[in-house]
């Protein structure tokens, strides 16, 4: 397992397969002025497979497909099949908004996907459509239930809390865990990429300290659960008598950089060393250069360099964040 210069074990690669999305969440994507990667600049399914083969060779074991919205890739099922066939791939998961999951859940499960995380900011259709612009609650909910029925479990719901939008609705979202064996995780806003979305993220920031206080005031004390994995970005709790888990991902109020185990691959083939920094190393050039092994050995070497130069953490409290890419261009 690769170890970085801060003695963190790095074995988890998040792979963005596309930068486009069928939503325009207010803190992530503006409605106008967007430019997406030409198809020729996206890594192909076969190139993604070679990156994962290289990653497994140097000690990575956990992989997650992200976007943009990954279900917009017409070859997503093929990508999953290719990665699942690689000896050494342990966990293989997907982050999605579930709009297209009703038809894709079973094919993805059959291809070898283990589980999903779904972005869902509200249980109220009007709030969801305001915050997750272009969203449709009924379609997302159907997608979640289809995933559960297909066995893509445990279901994890990611809720981004924004003042003036959904902060008053966190109680009913947390209450889902009482009857359902789901993980509902509340995520603090992070300013990425500059522009209007980053400014909104600062203006609408809600600390998870306040979110937890609101939930406990309404539903009772949260009992903290022992961490199954010290690198888990969520601190997990259980409500009294609940089946599921309430989690808090708090990069601003309670940074977890010291336990980070993640590296990111952008859709255009860059290893992005830290979500909230701009440092990147190009890997697409190695994949597309003539070589006997398809560039796998060189990709592995680049990945180890990326691990070795991974930053210690973010600088949000100093007013610094990534300027070159927005969240949808990194994959979260």
Say if 221 falls within a structural domain. Answer: yes
Token pair of 232 as six digits: 């888990």
Q: What is the pLDDT of residue 314?
A: 62
Say if 4 falls within a structural domain. Answer: no
Euclidean distance between CA atoms 319 and 332, whole angstroms: 19
pTM attached to this predicted model: 0.94
User: Is the pLDDT higher at 319 or at 195?
Assistant: 195
Say if 1 falls within a structural domain. Answer: no
Share of the chain above pLDDT 70, in %: 94
Say if 255 falls within a structural domain. Answer: yes
| Beta carbons of 69 and 96 less than 8 angstroms apart | yes
Q: What is the pLDDT of residue 318?
A: 57
Say if 2 falls within a structural domain. Answer: no
- The residue among 1, 44, 45, 37 whose CA lies nearest residue 21 is 37
Domain count, the chain: 1
Q: What is the pLDDT of residue 317?
A: 56
Domain that holds residue 168: 12-329
Buried b (16+ CB within 10 A) or exposed e, 98-133: bbbbbebbbebbebebbbbbbbbbbbeeebbebbbe
| Distances in whole angstroms, Cα of residue 21 to Cα of each of 18, 55, 74, 93, 324 | 8, 26, 13, 18, 18
| Distances in whole angstroms, Cα of residue 122 to Cα of each of 13, 16, 146, 170 | 28, 25, 19, 8
What digits encode the pLDDT tens for the residues 201-250? 889 999 999 999 999 999 999 999 998 888 899 999 999 999 999 999 99
Q: What is the pLDDT of residue 190?
A: 84
Say if 5 falls within a structural domain. Answer: no
Share of the chain above pLDDT 90, in %: 80
Say if 77 falls within a structural domain. Answer: yes
Say if 168 falls within a structural domain. Answer: yes
Element holding 280 (H helix, E strand): strand 280-282
CATH number at residue 290: 3.20.20.70
């Amino acid at each position: 397992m690769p170890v970085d210069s801060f003695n963190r074990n790095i074995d988890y690669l998040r792979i963005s397969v596309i930068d486009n999305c069928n939503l325009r969440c207010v803190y992530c994507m503006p409605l106008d002025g967007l430019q997406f990667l030409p198809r020729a600049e996206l890594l192909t399914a076969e190139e993604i497979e070679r990156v994962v083969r290289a990653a497994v060779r140097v000690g990575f074991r956990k992989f997650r497909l992200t976007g943009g919205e990954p279900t917009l890739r017409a070859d997503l099922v093929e990508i999953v099949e290719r990665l699942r066939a690689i000896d050494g791939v342990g966990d293989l998961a997907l982050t999605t908004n579930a709009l297209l999951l009703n038809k894709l859940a079973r094919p993805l499960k059959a291809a070898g996907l283990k589980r999903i995380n779904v972005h869902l900011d509200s249980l109220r259709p009007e709030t969801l459509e305001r915050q997750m612009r272009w969203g449709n609650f009924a379609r997302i909910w159907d997608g979640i239930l289809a995933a559960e029925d297909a066995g893509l479990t445990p279901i994890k719901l990611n809720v981004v809390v924004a003042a003036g939008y959904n902060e008053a609705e966190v109680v009913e979202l947390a209450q889902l865990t009482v009857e359902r064996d789901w993980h509902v995780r509340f995520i603090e806003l992070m300013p990425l990429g500059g522009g209007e979305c980053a400014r909104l993220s600062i203006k609408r920031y809600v600390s998870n300290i306040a979110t937890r206080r609101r939930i406990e005031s309404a539903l009772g004390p949260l009992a903290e659960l022992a961490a199954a994995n010290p690198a888990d970005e969520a601190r997990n709790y259980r409500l009294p008598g609940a089946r599921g888990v309430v989690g808090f991902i708090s990069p601003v109020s309670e940074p977890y950089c010291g336990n980070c185990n993640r590296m990111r691959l952008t859709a255009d083939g860059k290893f992005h060393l830290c979500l909230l920094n701009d440092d990147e190393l190009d890997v697409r050039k190695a994949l597309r250069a003539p070589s006997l092994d398809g560039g796998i050995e060189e990709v592995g070497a680049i990945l180890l360099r990326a691990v070795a130069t991974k930053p210690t953490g973010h600088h949000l409290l100093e007013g610094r964040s990534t300027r070159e890419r927005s969240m949808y261009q990194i994959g979260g």
